[in-house]
Amino acid sequence: MNAVRRFCARLVEELQIPGDCDLDGLVQHIARVTGRELTARPAPLGPRVSGLTLATDTHGLILYQRHTTVWHQTGIVLHELGHLACRHESSPEAMVEAARLLAQVTDPAQMAQHFSAGVHARHHGYHKRAELEAEEFAVQVTARLPLLAVAGSSQAVDRLAPSLEHRRPSGAP
């Protein structure tokens, strides 16, 4: 694990991520570094996979679980960016899982035409080195970018505020 930490620390340092980046800014920074046009968008991925990266030499699409918290979504996107930054190769298992998931969220023929070069599916276990590296990348980037740690805070407050307002019946003191 120490080798993974050292590798990711060196990689994050080399990426020269601006300290005031939010998640969208980080996605665009990784796009510039990898030379890919990147898009991250929510999708209903089901219970087994929380994130999925489709990549060619020139484009990348990160799909992340729509039905979870903003904090979890941020972690998923960071993990998937880790796969791209680490230049991980796809496994046959990830390709099969991706095809199954894509059939649920989009036209698979259209997606295969654009994203046949590489796929990573984020599973809940981190037994493979690529998964460990992607997760450690996410941890180290979060530690360097305080704005990511509070992702969604204002959205949560906005949603909760109406229920926290105390309303008194008319005429009550």
Kindly report the number of other CB atoms within 10 A of residue 30's CB atom: 23
CA distances from 3 to 7, 16, 69, 138 (A): 6, 21, 31, 16
Query: For the segment 43-100, what is each residue's pLDDT rounded down to a tens digit?
Result: 888 777 888 888 888 888 898 999 999 989 999 999 999 999 998 877 667 666 666 6
Domain ranges of the chain: 20-143
- pTM, 2 dp: 0.73
Amino acid at 136: E
Please tell me the predicted confidence (pLDDT) of residue 99.
Answer: 64
pLDDT category at 138 given cuts 50, 70, 90 is: very high
CB 122 within 8 A of CB 50: yes
Query: For the segment 12-46, what is each residue's pLDDT rounded down to a tens digit?
Result: 999 999 988 889 999 999 999 999 999 999 988 87
Fold of 20-143: Arc Repressor Mutant, subunit A (1.10.10)
CA 142, 144, 149, 150 torsion: positive or negative?
Answer: negative
CB 49 within 8 A of CB 125: no
**Largest distance between two CA atoms of the chain:** 69
CB 119 within 8 A of CB 98: yes
The DSSP call for residue 49 is -
Least confident span in 25-29, 56-60, 126-130, 155-159:
155-159
CB 27 within 8 A of CB 145: no
CB 32 within 8 A of CB 163: no
